[in-house]
């Protein structure tokens, strides 16, 4: 099992856990405007505790199956407040040994290096899981996220046109990869 890691500012990075649904719902509600330009359009139900409790249950099954490493950044008394997420998802084994990286940080913590540190820790977990490669995509205009990836040794390898439907529109993404043996 992955051990929690203490970061700056009283933030801990740990595995997502059963019971995190209410804190996730609160985090997404608190960051609704901050995350809106970078995420798919969300239904009102997405911001409810019941939606996140179901999502956490599904994530626990994917973690158990080896298809997901779901991490959260937690702060406050006993880490009760979630202030970010980092996911290594779509883990593929066999000859590929690859995962997709996704992350976000609470608007109150941006610009403090927290995302850069969290991505670095996620890469450590990816190596420990025996992965060879991690890839990530950012919106073309998300320069801050691109800097986080570059600081963690990711290299740009392409442009995916109309890759994901973000903020209600099909948007181009810059694609990055990190080979973990490098």
pTM of the model: 0.95
Is 106 among the domain residues?
yes
* Residue 160 dihedral angles phi and psi, to the nearest 5°: -105, 115
* 18 falls within a domain: yes
Q: What is the pLDDT of residue 1?
A: 61
pLDDT for 144: 96
pLDDT number for residue 15: 96
pLDDT at position 79, please?
A: 66
pLDDT beyond 80 at 10: yes
In a domain, 13, yes or no: yes
Query: How large a percentage of the chain has pLDDT more than 70?
Result: 98
Domain extent for 95 = 5-131
Q: Are 37 and 49 in contact (CB under 8 A)?
A: no
Pairing of strands 155-166, 133-139: unpaired
CA atoms 49, 167, 12, 69: torsion sign: positive
**138 within a domain of the structure (yes/no):** no
pLDDT value at 121 more than 70: yes
Q: How confident is the model at residue 104 (pLDDT cuts 50, 70, 90)?
A: very high
Nearest of 144, 147, 145, 155 to residue 180 by alpha carbon: 155
168 domain residue, yes or no: no
In a domain, 150, yes or no: no
Specify the number of domains making up the chain. 1
Note the pLDDT of residue 9.
83
156 domain-assigned: no
Lowest mean pLDDT among 5-14, 29-38, 126-135: 5-14
Place of tokens 């019971």: 19
CATH number of the domain within which 92 lies: 3.40.630.30
In a domain, 86, yes or no: yes
pLDDT tier at 77, thresholds 50, 70, 90: confident
């Amino acid at each position: 099992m992955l051990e929690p890691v203490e970061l700056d500012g009283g933030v801990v990075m740990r595995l997502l856990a059963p019971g995190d649904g209410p804190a996730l719902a609160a985090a997404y509600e608190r960051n609704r405007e901050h995350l809106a330009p970078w995420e798919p359009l969300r239904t009102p139900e997405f911001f409810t505790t019941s939606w996140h409790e179901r999502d956490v249950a599904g994530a626990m099954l994917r973690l158990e199956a080896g298809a997901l490493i779901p991490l959260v950044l937690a702060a406050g008394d006993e880490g009760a407040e979630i202030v970010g997420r980092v996911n290594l998802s779509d883990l593929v084994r066999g000859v590929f040994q690859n995962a997709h990286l996704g992350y976000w940080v609470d608007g109150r913590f941006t610009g403090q290096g927290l995302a850069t540190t969290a991505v670095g820790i996620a890469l450590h977990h990816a190596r420990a899981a025996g992965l060879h490669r991690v890839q990530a995509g950012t919106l073309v205009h998300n320069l801050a996220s691109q800097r986080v990836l570059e600081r963690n040794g990711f290299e740009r390898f392409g442009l995916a046109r109309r890759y994901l439907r973000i903020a209600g529109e099909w948007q181009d993404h810059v694609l990055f990869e990190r080979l973990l043996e490098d």
